[in-house]
Chains A and B, each alone.
Chain A
Amino acid sequence: MNAEFFGYVAFFTFVGIAFAVSAIVTSWFLRPWRARGEKLTTYECGEEPIGTGWHRYNIRYYTFALLFLVFDVVGVFLLLFALIFRNAVKLGIGSFLFWQMLIFLTIVLIAWIYAWKKGNLEWV
């Protein structure tokens, strides 16, 4: 099952790349080639670009990014919980699992409130 699916993924990846590349290559043969001089400069609405675009940017959502990593892992954990929950309810261990999850989420929520109070959920 898995092997078959990833065979499909690999094949679709190949087809996707082949399509995109062949589209570019087709236009390669059809299009004009007259780019030189000013046409090749960086576009900044007619202004002469000053310096390059590659310099340091202030990533102002850096603290969000750190929290994002944590919460994404939490999300993966919750996905697995959600997957088995229906069967767990059927087997009668649903409330046990649910309380455990509630305790876990309380801890996560405390961390989230702490981050908020500390000002990490602000655009700095």
Chain B
Amino acid sequence: MYGLGPLLESLFKKIGVPTFWAEPLRAIIVSVVILAFIMVVVMVLLWLLRRFIAYMQSRLGPNRVGPEGILQPVADATKLLIKEDITPAAADKVMFSVAPVLIFLPAFLVYLVIPFGKGMVAKDFHMGIVFVLAVGGVTSIAIILAGWASNNKYSILGGMRSAAQLIAYEVPMVISLLGVVMLAGTFKMGGIVEAQSGGFWGILPRWFIFYQPIGFLVFFICVLAELGHLPFDLPEGESELVAGYNVEYSGMRFALFYLSEFSNAFAFSAIIVTLFLGGWKPPLAFIPDWYILSPIWFLSKVGVMVLLLMWLRASIVRTRIDQLLALGWKVLLPVALFNFLLTGGLMLV
């Protein structure tokens, strides 16, 4: 048996934890580990984003705090912690406080089903990918709530745009997933990774991106919209809406918005990797998938994906909101449906 789960179980047995307490104890340990992981990942991503984009724009970026500026996110987090946190007099006070908590929740819950490595998943649920879609939708609700509660014209427009965005990308996203689900025959994240084992001619891995290039493309574009990433960062739209839905937020509550944005960027890169790029499977088919190396393969693939997102962020301009809706309904939806039928037809022959 592989996996951290059985390892933890045998550890519990050694210490002598009663069976009734084994599962709750596991849940506590897993949740704390994931929370710590999110903190570290967000800090690394923040630093990486600023340095990477700075270099792409012929700047230096933050390089003073710690070696190569690596401690900059720590300094920023500390600053945000001791900053004054203003609730505007006109805002809906209760909802204004609820929104940042609500936006962090889906960002955290998504990690429940992400397989980080062989057997390294908090809980591999048989509805895994549907759970991700369902939880991902909550982010939009939190953004609309934040926009409305702020009672600021810019924020409300940001919230409205977020709703429009949800309407534009959600349907093509679900339909572009169908190909993967059909090939794997399961919603389970671990099962989808397992379905991608083996290789062509013993070299190229049997990843779903090779079976589903169209599905991958549509899903990737939809993830960009889901993340509110350039070219679809309309809810924030700095040059039109100041900062969109989080104009009025400051201090720790602003930090929570920022935290969930970056944690989502990692989570959805991880989901793309799981669905299309073989999850924790090694990049060449003849490499044995050792248990120890699996999280390293996974994290390096996610790293490539995150860098791709940042590259787009540094090089693409923002679309208009009506263009996004037209793209979603007139291009992505028929293309995704075509991909679905094509996959079905090819599976029959």
- Where the two chains meet, the residues of A that have a C-beta atom closer than 8 Å to any C-beta of B are 1, 4-5, 7-9, 11-13, 15-17, 19-21, 23-24, 26-28, 30-35, 39-45, 49, 52-54, 57, 59, 61, 64-65, 67-68, 71-72, 74-76, 78-79, 81-87, 89, 94-95, 98, 101-102, 105, 109, 112, 116, 121, 123
Contact = CB atoms under 8 A, between A and B. Distances in A.
Given A20-B256, A42-B248, A72-B170, A30 B81 contact: yes
B291 interface: no
Interface residues of B, number: 82
Contacts, number: 206
Given A33-B84, A61-B167, 17 more contacts: A7-B23, A8-B27, A8-B122, A24-B100, A27-B85, A27-B251, A31-B83, A34-B84, A53-B153, A57-B156, A64-B325, A68-B171, A72-B174, A79-B178, A95-B348, A98-B348, A109-B337
Most buried by B among A17, A49, A78, A82: A82
Contact of A75 (B104, B171, B344, B345): B171
The SS class assigned to the B binding surface is helix
Contacts of B157: 57
A53 B156 contact: yes
A52 B100 contact: no
B105 interface: yes
Interface of A is mostly: helix
Given A52-B151, A86-B182, A116-B330, A9 B84 contact: no
A37 B116 CA distance: 50
B341 to A, nearest CB: 7
A42 B90 contact: yes
Given A9-B112, A11-B31, A31-B85, A44 B330 contact: no
Interface stretch (B58-66, B183-191, B203-211, B272-280): B183-191
Contacts of A39: 86
22 contacts: A4-B123, A11-B28, A12-B31, A15-B35, A20-B100, A27-B80, A27-B83, A33-B84, A34-B84, A35-B86, A40-B88, A42-B152, A43-B247, A44-B153, A57-B157, A61-B163, A64-B325, A71-B171, A86-B184, A98-B344, A112-B333, A123-B326
